[in-house]
Amino acid sequence: MSATVLAGKPIQEAILAEVAEGVRAFTATSAPSSPPHLTAVLVGDDPASTIYVRSKTRTCRELGISSATLRLAATTTTEQLLDEIAQLNADPSVDGILVQLPLPPQIDEKVVLDAIDPRKDVDGLHPENAGLLAQGRPRFVPATPAGIIDMLERLEIEISGKHAVVVGRSEIVGKPMAALLLQRHATTTICHSRTADLGAITRQADILVAAVGVAGLVGPEHVKGGATVIDVGINRVDDRARLETLLGTRAAGADWARFEERGYLVVGDVRPDVADVAGAMTPVPGGVGLLTIGLVLVNTLEAARRRQAAGERDLV
């Protein structure tokens, strides 16, 4: 038995095609004729954040979305960043604001995220948007859990009546993921670092979402036969012995060639040999991570539509 691979690429392409169509329709009806606009705020020079923002900018251009990147020094203070956000909040030409995380340690992340106008919070992390999601009337949903639900629904993987287990309780993935599953009538359990006998709970899951950022935490012993396993983990491992343990016989020559070239490999929270037990599972890389930018742009388009309906974009 080998699990069906739930590749992110076809889902990504479908989401982006729908966003592009929506942007064309929006721009045709906006007055004056202008596309949705997203501003990303990048503080410092974190390599992963820089790559993500560059990819976001390229995707926006391809879909017809206007975008800008506000680059700030790594020494920026909380107060300075709040001033910049206040200006973006007040700018009627800006539909979405994305503050790229993580922020430098001297910046109070919660204060900054709370300061974003919730109507422009396309990451879905403002307390108002989190509260709306918890009540089952979401405005903007964090991109990764939204992408997972999108994937499950497009692939017609049944959620209603199933037992879903989410491993991880972060504000970005774990908690909103659990809320979305619950709203789709799954019996939902959240596990975390203090859960006793993790495997006893995860083996009950028809849908298992691993989102803790611990390489190879979930093995075959944690998984019910035939379960759908969603791996959210993105972990860089630079120790060859550790990789050999995680990948086992599933490591290919190409994997080790990449390791020799880069000095690391990216692996998930789920070990590859889970494919011997699961019915379906997402790969890392190539799984739900591909959907993140697309869902941020779904939220950006929705923000523009809401602001147009409220008449605010007439000020642009």
Q: Is 120 a catalytic residue?
A: no
Q: What is the pLDDT of residues 206-253, one digit of tens each?
A: 999 999 999 999 999 999 999 999 999 999 999 999 998 998 877 777
Q: Is 100 a catalytic residue?
A: yes
Amino acid 99 reads V
Q: What is the pLDDT of residue 314?
A: 54
CA dist., res. 284 & res. 316, Å (int): 42
At residue 183 the predicted structure's pLDDT band, cuts being 50, 70 and 90, is very high
Give the pLDDT mean for 52-66: 94
Q: What is the pLDDT of residue 87?
A: 98
Q: What is the pLDDT of residue 316?
A: 47
Q: Is 123 a catalytic residue?
A: yes
Phi-psi region of 136 (alpha: psi -120 to 50; beta: other; left: phi over 0): left
The active-site residue, picked from 12, 120, 121, 123, is: 123
Q: Is the pLDDT of residue 26 over 60?
A: yes
CB 69 within 8 A of CB 100: no
Q: Which two tokens stand for residue 156?
A: 């017609």
Q: What is the pLDDT of residue 41?
A: 97
CB 210 within 8 A of CB 232: yes
Least confident of 49-63, 175-189, 216-230: 49-63
Q: Characterize the bridge pairing of strands 37-43 and 96-99.
A: parallel
Compute the radius of gyration of the chain from its Cα atoms: 20
Q: What is the pLDDT of residues 274-315, one digit of tens each?
A: 999 999 999 999 999 999 999 999 999 999 999 999 887 654
The active-site residue, picked from 12, 56, 120, 269, is: 56
The active-site residue, picked from 100, 175, 231, 269, is: 100
Residues 6 or more apart in contact with residue 291 via CB below 8 angstroms: 8, 11, 12, 15, 143, 144, 147, 148, 150, 151
CA atoms within 13 A on the CB side of 189: 18
Q: Is the pLDDT of residue 178 over 80?
A: yes
Instruction: Name the percent of the chain lying above pLDDT 70.
Output: 98
Say how many C-beta atoms besides its own lie within 10 A of residue 132's C-beta.
17
CA dist., res. 202 & res. 166, Å (int): 8
Selected residue with higher pLDDT from 48 and 60? 60
Q: What is the pLDDT of residues 115-164, one digit of tens each?
A: 999 999 999 999 999 999 999 999 999 999 999 999 999 999 999 999 99
Residues linked to residue 267 through DSSP beta bridges, in sequence order: 235
CB 257 within 8 A of CB 265: no
